[in-house]
Amino acid sequence: MQLKRNLMLVAISLSTLAVSAQNTQSSGQVTEEGKTAFKPHWYMQVQAGAAQTVGEASFKDLISPTAALSVGYKFNPLWGIRAGVSGWQAKGKWVILPDSYKFNYLQGNVDATLDLSNLLCHYNPKRFFNAYMFLGVGVAGGFNNDDAVALDEAGYHMQYLWSGKKVFVAGRGGLGANLRLSNHVFFNLEVNANVLSDKFNSKKANNADWQLNALAGFTFKFGKSGKKPKPVVSYDVAPTPVETVVEIKQEPAPVVTPAPVEEKKEEVKPLTENIFFKINSAVIRSSEENKITDLVAFLQKNEEVKVSICGYADAATGTASINQRLSKERALAVEKALKAKGIAADRITVDFKGDKVQPFSKNEENRVAICITE
């Protein structure tokens, strides 16, 4: 009855673990922002160590060798499942027996595993120490129970003696740790306890038999257990500036009266024309007509300009009285030509010098009427 109660407790625990696993993480892949994402993967464990079958003897008298080979699959950073084969040798002893007896067994196991390191410290594939716990069920097959049979035949009555082969249902649980050596290889340490029928060691004790195991070995991970997520680039979007409309009241611009601009009169450069005559003549030659034309054009363009005409005669020829008269006639001849072309008389001033003044060094050039504008 007690064994049945123990098995029921194991079954209830496994059911609770399954429901918790389903509610905790339904996805096979968990990604933490900025960290490596977990990837489901298979693994294998090879273990060996010592077993101790609890009994009526000192601890060291009931130690025997054991080994285990398991294959597991991790669904997410916390939960996984493991199936394996364990066993080798078990021992028993009775208080009245002179020595212990041994037998062999093999046990098939199915365990639900929980990663304690990821549970308490979050997922980290580079962590060195990775602790886990498990609960499971198993079926043990006993064989080679010849020592117990011999003792029974020798008069030591074994109430639960079995011979040949015997099958037992087991409940189990334990703790372990994987110490990271590389991305795929871990050194493994594990302790577990297996509860079996009172008949496992052939003697009656009115309680369940316990098989304790301390194991060491290696865990081998297959494939990649994690992958780097693609970086997600986020952009801080600056808030759109709110346009503020400021109403500007326009005032009428002041009327500026421009200062009077004094018109600068273009300075007119004076024009000088020398009208040359033949000896003892006051007639304007045709060769000098163009000078009269230029002078008239200048006076017509510059209406405020006046002209002074002064006649001369050369001192080398004629007398002073003749030259006086001749210089006057020459000046009047030029005056007459200007008036004939429309130049008003009030713009013309006439003078004559005879031969008293000689404006040029050459004698023939002094037979002239000099016209100067002003």
Q: Is residue 101 situated within a structural domain? A: yes
What is the DSSP-derived secondary structure letter of residue 355? Answer: T
pLDDT of residue 272: 94
Structure tokens that stand for 213 in this block: 């195991």
Q: Is residue 118 situated within a structural domain? A: yes
Number of structural domains the chain divides into = 2
Pick the closest to residue 311 from 329, 296, 294, 287 (CA basis).
329
Residues 9 and 137 in one domain: yes
Residues 172 and 276 in one domain: no
What is the CATH classification number for the domain harbouring 128?
A: 2.40.160.20
Residues 115 and 211 in one domain: yes
What is the CATH classification number for the domain harbouring 294?
A: 3.30.1330.60
E strands in the chain:
37-38, 41-53, 63-74, 79-92, 101-115, 129-143, 165-180, 185-196, 209-222, 226-227, 272-276, 307-311, 348-352, 368-373
pLDDT of residue 231: 61
Residues 295 and 197 in one domain: no
Task: Answer yes or no: are the C-beta atoms of 187 and 142 closer than 8 Å.
Answer: no
Residues 213 and 278 in one domain: no
Q: What is the mean pLDDT of each run of 10 residues along the chain (374 residues)?
A: 57 51 47 72 96 81 93 96 96 73 94 96 93 97 90 82 92 97 96 93 86 96 76 55 61 70 72 94 94 93 93 92 94 94 94 94 93 93
pTM for the structure as a whole: 0.53
Residues 304 and 210 in one domain: no
Residues 277 and 223 in one domain: no
Q: Is residue 110 situated within a structural domain? A: yes
Structure tokens that stand for 33 in this block: 């922002």
Residues 286 and 368 in one domain: yes
Residues 290 and 348 in one domain: yes
Q: What share of the chain is helix, strand, coil (3-state, %, to 5)?
A: 20, 35, 40
Q: Is residue 246 situated within a structural domain? A: no
* Parent domain of 149: 2-21+34-227
Residues 12 and 115 in one domain: yes
Residues 297 and 198 in one domain: no
